[in-house]
Amino acid sequence: MKIHSLLKVAAALGIICFYPSFGLQKESIYIKKISDGNYSMVLFNKAHQAVFEEEYPVEPTTEMLGSHLIQITLSLGSSNRYVFYYDIENTRISEPYYNPVLSEGTNILYVDDEHRLIYQDMFNASKMHREFIRDFSETAVSSSAVYQADIINNTLRIKYFKGPDLEEEEEEIQL
């Protein structure tokens, strides 16, 4: 029994040592259930001072992206969600994005309310902002028209539905 417990502790320490971002995320965010359907979330800076506190009607989910960026997702059901980002290193919190298509580093790709594909810095839209206007198909959720996206060698590759007949289109855009 003691050996089993020691193995668990060693495994946990190994995870924390080999994956330092896991420990950093746990130190930077705290989520607590307040009541049925009500959650509180607090974000902390590196000095463990609260920099953001909010209550939500759903439990936020978090994911560590890289070594200092936390993605915080609030599910609205189905695939609909609001996502925002917390940069632990620079204590920056992004605006919320509705159904983002892709995040890469501190850049984000999303479809706005006017059906434009936007690629920008998630923390500062004026720093880097590109708009792409295409004949995206009308879908219940605008971002659903873009069904695949990736960035390779500073080239955005997108696959999307075009026009009223949902024609499949594939395009490469130099960033």
What does the alpha-carbon distance between residue 25 and residue 11 come to, in Å, rounded to a whole number? 18
Q: What's the rounded mean pLDDT across residues 75-104?
A: 92
What's the pLDDT at 105?
87
Per-position b or e across 55-94, b if 16+ CB within 10 A of its CB: ebeeebebebeeebbbbbbbeeeeeebbbbbbbbeebebb
Secondary element (H or E) of residue 15 = helix 2-18
Quote the longest CA-to-CA distance of the chain: 65
Question: How would residue 51 be classed by pLDDT, with cut points 50, 70 and 90?
Answer: very high
pLDDT beyond 70 at 107: yes
33 alpha-carbon distance from chain centroid: 22
Number of H helices, E strands in the chain: 2, 15
pTM of the shown model = 0.79
